[in-house]
Amino acid sequence: MNNIVVLELGIFAGSMYDVPNWQSYKTFDEAIEKFQNLHPNIRIKYRSGTLKNDYSEWLAQKIINGDEPDVFCVLPGDFNTFASIGIMKNLDELIKRDKSFNINRMYLNAIKFGQFQGVQYAIPKELDPQLMFVNKTLLKKEGIQVPKGNWTWEDFYNICRKITKDTDGDGKIDQFGSVGFNWKIAVYTNGEQFFDQSGKKAMFDSKGVIEAVKFVKALNDLNQNFKVNLEDFDNGRVAFRPFSFSAYKAYKTYPYRIIKYAQFDWECIKLPRGPNGRNASELNAMLFGISSRTKHTKEAWEFLKFITYNDEIQMDVLRYSHGIPVLRDVTESKKAEEELLKYNPEEEISVDTKVLSDVVEQSVVPPRFHKYDEAVEIADREIYQIIKGDKEVEDTLIKLNSELNDFLNQ
Amino acid sequence: MIKRIALFLIIIFMLFSTSCINNEKVSNIKKYKFGASYMTFNNPFFVELNNGIKDVVEKNGGKLITLDPQLDIQKQIQQIKELVYERVDVIFLNPVDWKEIKPALEIAKRANIPVIVVDAPVYDDELVECTVVSDNYNAGVLCAKDMIKRLNGKGNVVILEHPSVKSAIDRIEAYENTIKEYPDIKIVGRRASDGQIEKAMPAMESLLKMNKQIDAVMCLNDPTAMGAIAALEKAGRLKNVLVYGVDGSQNAKKMIKQGKMIATAAQFPKEIGKIAAEAALRKLAGEKIEHEIKVPVILIDKNNVDKY
C-alpha cells in the first residue's frame, strides 16, 4: 500500500465552452478508470463540483495554501499569469525524454497554445476553433448562395451590403449582414497579430492591422449607427455571426436545436479571409499543466500524457465533449467522421473532419505574455471609438501603437 | 522563481484582504461562509435559484461556495463532506436522491452545521433545519386540470418522471391523482428522464415507438419538456401532442409562444433562493425558523405568457 501514489487533478464541473454539458465528468471518470487499470500504483482524485466561474479563484486559493493539484486545468485567462509566476512545470524535458510521446501527432497550434515565451508549460486536451454561422433562410430569401469555404472579406462585405435593408418600409434598417465580427477576428483572418511574440512590441501601426480595422468599420457603417445585437441574430434578422465549433456541436442537433436558432435553417462555414490572411481566427483550448511543486512528476506526466495523447480518450472528446481532439490523426479518422455525421445526417456536410483540421491549423494562437489582457483592453477601448466613427483610423492606430509600446515596456 | 511565486501569492492575498475590509465597512454582520450543492447546474432553474441565494449572501458580506455533482449522489455526499470540512456556517442542499442523501445529512448534523433544503425535500427531514420548496403538488394539479379540459376528459397520456426526487414525485403523484377521476384518460407509458433534456429525448422517442396514439405528455420539469418536444418534432408528431412542464423557464415560455408547448407550472427559483438565504441568516442570528416554507406556483400558457 505504501507504493500507491495519489495524484490530485484540478477540474471544474460543466462545459469549458459555456454550452450545455450535463456530464462533463464522464470523460474524466472513464479516463481515470482506464488510467488506474494501466497504472495500479497510481490513484487519481479530484474535488468535484467547482463551477467554471469559481474555478480560477479556487485554484488561486489552493496555490496560496501550497496544496494546488498535481495536474490541473488552466483556463486561458490564467495561463499567462501561472506561466509567468512559475507555478506550472516546464514540460520540455519531460517531452524530450519520453520516447513514447510524439508531440508531432498534435496540431502545431495545439502545441503553441500551451507555450509561454517558447517553453511548453501545458498541453491541450481538446480544441475549439471559430467558424462562421450562416443563416441559410435569410440568404435564400435574398437569393444569395451560401459562400464556399475559401471566401474573402470582399465576398463577405458584398453579401452584408445586399442583406442590410429596411424590410418593412418604416425607414429603419431591420435586417443585417453580421454581428460579432470584431477587430480581433478581422486582424486574425487577415493573417496578422497585434503584438509580437515577446510581448514588448505592439503592431497596431502595421498595414494588415490598419486594413482589418478599416474593414470592421466599413462593415459597421453598413448598419448606419444601428447597434446590431444577439437578439436580432436569434430572431433571424442577421445573416452571419462568428461561432465556435463547440456551439455548432451543441446546437446543431436535437435536443438543443429546438431551443436555439430553430426558426431558420443554418449552417457553419469557415470565416472569410482578408487580403493577406486565411479562413480562421483565434483558437480556444482546454489546457492542462503540472504543478511545479508536485512531488510526483513522473506520475503526473503519465496522467497528463494519457488524457492528451491516448487515442481512445481523444475520441471521447468527440463523443462526450464539444471540442476537437488535439491529435490530428484522431480528428481525421473514420470514427471521428462517423461522430460528426451525427450533427448533420440529412444535409450536405459543411463541417467535416478535413474542414476542422484546416481551421485548427489555420487558426491563430496569440502571443503569450503577462500584460496581454490589459493591453488588449486598452486597444479595445480606442478601436471602439474608431468604429463608432469618432476617430480617424490610421492616425489613431499609430498613436495607440505608441501608447501600447510604452505600456508594454514599463 | 520562488520569489515571483511569493509575490503573486501576496498580491492575491492583498486583493482578498481588501475585499474583506470593504465588506466589513458595508456590513457589521459576521462574514459567514455558506455552501450549496444542487443536483445539477445543467438546468437554468438551479442557476437562478443559486443567484437568489448569492444575492442575499453577498449583500450581507458573506461568501457562497456552489458545487455541482451532475446528478451523482456519491459526488454530492462527498461535496457535503467537503463543505463540512471547510467549516461553512450553513449548507443549502438540493438533493440528487431524496433518500440516499441521508449519510451527508448525518455528517452535517454531527458537525452542527444547519442544512437548508431547497426545491426538493429530503426523506429524513428531521435532520434538516428548514425546507423551502414550491407547492409541487399544486404544480401537478394545475397541469392535470388544464390537460383534462383540453382533452375533453379523454385521451392517451404519457409521463416523464424523476422517481428519486421528491419534488418530482409530488408533481407526478398530484397529476395522476387528478386525472384518476377521468377513466377515459389513460396513462399508456412512463419513463424516467432525471429531469434532463438529454435523457428526456430518448425516453420520449421510446414512448413514441411503443404508442401510436399519444395525446399529451406530462413532464416533471421544463428541461424534460424540451426533450419531449425535440423527440416529437423529430418524429413529426408534435402538432398532435399537448406538452406540459413545470418550472416556467425562459425556454418553456419561448416554446409556448411558438405553439410547441401548452403550459408550464411556473416556479419562482430566485424567490426560493432569497427565502432560503434569509432563513439561513435568521438561523445564524439565533432566531427560530420555520421547518417548511412553501412558495406558490402558477400556470403559464399562451394566454398569460407575455405577463411573465
Do B200 and A51 make contact, defined as CB atoms within 8 angstroms? Answer: no
| Residue A255, preceding peptide bond in cis (omega within 30° of 0) | yes
Q: Sort out which chain A residues have CB atoms less than 8 A from B5's CB and list them.
A: 63, 85-87
Which DSSP helix (H) or strand (E) runs through B132? strand B130-134
Return the closest-CA partner of residue A304 out of A1, A28, A25, A13: A28
Contact B279, B293 (CB under 8 A): yes
Beta-bridge partners for B130: B116
Do A48 and B72 make contact, defined as CB atoms within 8 angstroms? Answer: yes
Angstroms from B288 CA to nearest CA on chain A: 31
Encode pLDDT of A349-406 as tens digits: 667 888 899 999 999 999 989 899 999 999 999 999 999 887 899 999 999 999 999 9
Neighbours of B138 (CB within 10 A): 18
Please report the pLDDT score of residue A345 as a whole number: 57
Encode pLDDT of A109-145 as tens digits: 999 999 999 999 999 999 999 999 999 999 999 999 9
Q: Sort out which chain A residues have CB atoms less than 8 A from B197's CB and list them.
A: 20, 22, 255-256
C-alpha to C-alpha distance for B272 and B293, rounded to whole angstroms: 9
Contact A269, A132 (CB under 8 A): yes
Neighbours of A350 (CB within 10 A): 17
- Confidence bin at B94 (pLDDT 50/70/90): very high
pTM, rounded to two decimals: 0.91
Contact B308, B284 (CB under 8 A): no
Do B65 and A22 make contact, defined as CB atoms within 8 angstroms? Answer: no
Neighbours of A230 (CB within 10 A): 11
Closest CB to B230 among A60, A64, A258: A258
Do B42 and A85 make contact, defined as CB atoms within 8 angstroms? Answer: no
Closest CB to B68 among A13, A85, A258: A13
Contact B245, B146 (CB under 8 A): no
- Contact with chain B for residue A170, Cβ under 8 A: no
- Contact with chain B for residue A23, Cβ under 8 A: yes
- Contact with chain B for residue A85, Cβ under 8 A: yes
Residue B284 CA neighbour count, 13 Å, CB half: 22
Q: Sort out which chain A residues have CB atoms less than 8 A from B258's CB and list them.
A: 262-263
Residue of A27, A85, A253 to mutate for B, most B C-beta atoms under 10 A: A85
Measured CA to CA in angstroms, residue B211 lies from A228, A401, B172, B272 at distances of: 46, 68, 20, 38
- Contact with chain B for residue A255, Cβ under 8 A: yes
Q: pLDDT averaged over chain A? A: 94
pLDDT at A347 over 80: no
What chain A residue is nearest to B9 in terms of C-alpha separation? A64
B287 CB burial (10 A radius; 0-12, 13-18, 19+): exposed
Do A259 and B226 make contact, defined as CB atoms within 8 angstroms? Answer: yes
A254 CB burial (10 A radius; 0-12, 13-18, 19+): middle
Encode pLDDT of A311-326 as tens digits: 999 999 999 999 999 9
Residue of A8, A12, A22 to mutate for B, most B C-beta atoms under 10 A: A22
Closest CB to A20 among B12, B42, B69: B42
What chain B residue is nearest to A293 in terms of C-alpha separation? B2
Residues whose CB falls within 8 Å of the CB of residue A151, separated by 6 or more in sequence, listed in order: A269, A270, A272, A273, A279
Neighbours of A404 (CB within 10 A): 24
Please report the pLDDT score of residue B27 as a whole number: 47
- Contact with chain B for residue A14, Cβ under 8 A: yes
Please report the pLDDT score of residue A339 as a whole number: 86
Do B254 and A259 make contact, defined as CB atoms within 8 angstroms? Answer: yes
Angle at A156 between CA A152 and CA A364, to 5 degrees: 55
- Contact with chain B for residue A24, Cβ under 8 A: yes
The separation between CA A3 and the C-alpha centre of its own chain, rounded to angstroms, equals 40
Please report the pLDDT score of residue A2 as a whole number: 60
Question: What percent of chain B has a predicted confidence (pLDDT) above 70?
Answer: 90
Contact B21, B74 (CB under 8 A): no
The separation between CA B188 and the C-alpha centre of its own chain, rounded to angstroms, equals 27
Q: Sort out which chain B residues have CB atoms less than 8 A from A60's CB and list them.
A: 12
Please report the pLDDT score of residue B15 as a whole number: 45
State whether ipTM is beyond 0.85.
yes
Amino acid found at B87: R
Angstroms from A96 CA to nearest CA on chain B: 23
Encode pLDDT of B130-164 as tens digits: 999 999 999 999 999 999 999 999 999 999 999 99
Angstroms from A379 CA to nearest CA on chain B: 25
Closest CB to A22 among B65, B70, B229: B70
User: Would you state the cell numbers that stand for residue A131, as one nine-digit string?
Assistant: 467558424
- Contact with chain B for residue A20, Cβ under 8 A: yes
Contact A125, A326 (CB under 8 A): yes
Amino acid found at A131: L
Angle at A393 between CA A391 and CA A398, to 5 degrees: 105
A403 CB burial (10 A radius; 0-12, 13-18, 19+): middle
Per-residue buried b or exposed e for B192-220, using 16+ beta carbons within 10 Å of the residue's own CB:
bbbbbbbbbbebbbebbeeeeebbbbbbb
Closest CB to B229 among A14, A87, A258: A258
Do B37 and A49 make contact, defined as CB atoms within 8 angstroms? Answer: yes
- Confidence bin at B14 (pLDDT 50/70/90): very low
> Looking at chain B, how many residues does it have?
308
